[in-house]
Amino acid sequence: MASDMPKVLHPVAGLPMVNHVLNICQEAGAGERAVVVGNQAERVASSVMAYDNKCRVFEQTERKGTAHAVLSTSNAITDDLDDVIILFGDVPLITATTLQSARTALAEGSDIVVLGFETADPTGYGRLLVQDGELTAIREHKDASHEERKITLCNSGIMAFRAQHMLAILNEIGNDNAQGEYYLPDAVEVGRAKGLTVTAITVPEDETLGVNDRTQLSEVNEIWQQRRRKELMLSGVTMESPGTIILHHDTKIERDAVLEPYLVFGPNVTVSKGAVIKAFSHMEGATIGEGATIGPYARLRPGAVMEHGSKVGNFVEIKAAKIGAGAKVNHLSYIGDADVGAKANIGAGTITCNYDGYLKHKTIIGEGAFIGSNTSLIAPVTVGKDANTAAGSAVYKDIPDHDLAIERSEQANLSGKAKQLRERNAKRKADKK
């Protein structure tokens, strides 16, 4: 990965790959989950425990192969388990449906199930050799015969075991190979020697994709995005140009919402039904109410709450602020640490001056208030219900309900002064040539 970060912590849609795998385990109904850590063990363990505090973590202190890694979890493989599925932290696209298919195969009589995939170019992959419905061997590419290399059913590395046989099988895997390591695929040969039933099931190739560099990480992320976009559209969300919309793993969007092109959803965004998100908007930590309109070119930062029918327009930034039902912040404004009442109207260029260099302060704008363009609201300050501010005002005192606040210096028109300034400046410019 050319990175200081452990590979499995690289994110797909904002969530570390290994946590995607844990999430799928939970979706598939896995009663217990264990993670084997090695490189930067404490860092990986901290991430997985923060995401799934019921997950058990085991450290492989010596790197002696995949079977050796699984054996490090032997304390977790107990007699009361039905089955065990071995997954990889850098293969985040596996689905709960696929895991359930592996469990079904075990329940129907298999003792070991290997997940395979069909591919147009099997070069470099281990081939699954199947005869009379049973998996007879996994043949590595370099060891395969000419005929075996024509086989397109390849080994994903993911395996499922009937728990009662698992430890006995793993303990018999040897390390008589050039690397001196204990390889999990050898479980097929050991299991067959014990008279156990070993089968293979075929799963979609994209579910088995592993990540070894940034290019593959990008490819996996795009597949995840495509899946999630499709799920949302099938649930009733309109996307005018799906490929331009970037979703986060926890993005929630209800039916009849409309998403225009070029949108970025950061962490913790909820969009209610009927909301419209216009093009080139960026959202994170935001709650968008039913029928609200966002953008174009809007930014919602953490703590932004858009209530029913509210609206923010182009080049508006909302942070830690509630915009009440039917309220409008149409353009070129910053509203932070504020509470904007229902049906209030915020004029262009309005700023809530919420930070004094040390502390944040709150602005409260009452229902139906009208904030004139280019108003600076110097917090803490309250604008009352149905109150107005005149354009260009710097408001630093509370405004009672129904009052109009004007704060600006008196305008003076100096006769002919503009002409004098133009002539003087033109002469200065000419003298420099």
Whether residue 331 lies in the annotated active site: yes
Among candidate residues 20, 68, 248, 331, the one labeled active-site is 331
Residue 257 exposed, middle or buried by CB count within 10 Å (0-12, 13-18, 19+): buried
Of 278, 272, 241, residue with least CA distance to 257: 272
CA distances 163 to 56, 77, 375, Å, are 17, 7, 69
Dump the DSSP string for 311-364: EEEEEEEEEEEEE-TT-EEEEEEEEEEEEEPTT-EE-TT-EEE-B-SS-B--EE
> Which amino acid is residue 93, in one-letter code?
L
- For 413, residues 6+ apart whose C-beta sits below 8 A from its C-beta are none
Length reported for the chain: 433
* Strand residues in 26-181 grouped as ranges (E): 34-37, 56-59, 83-86, 112-118, 127-131, 134-139, 153-162
Catalytic residues: 331
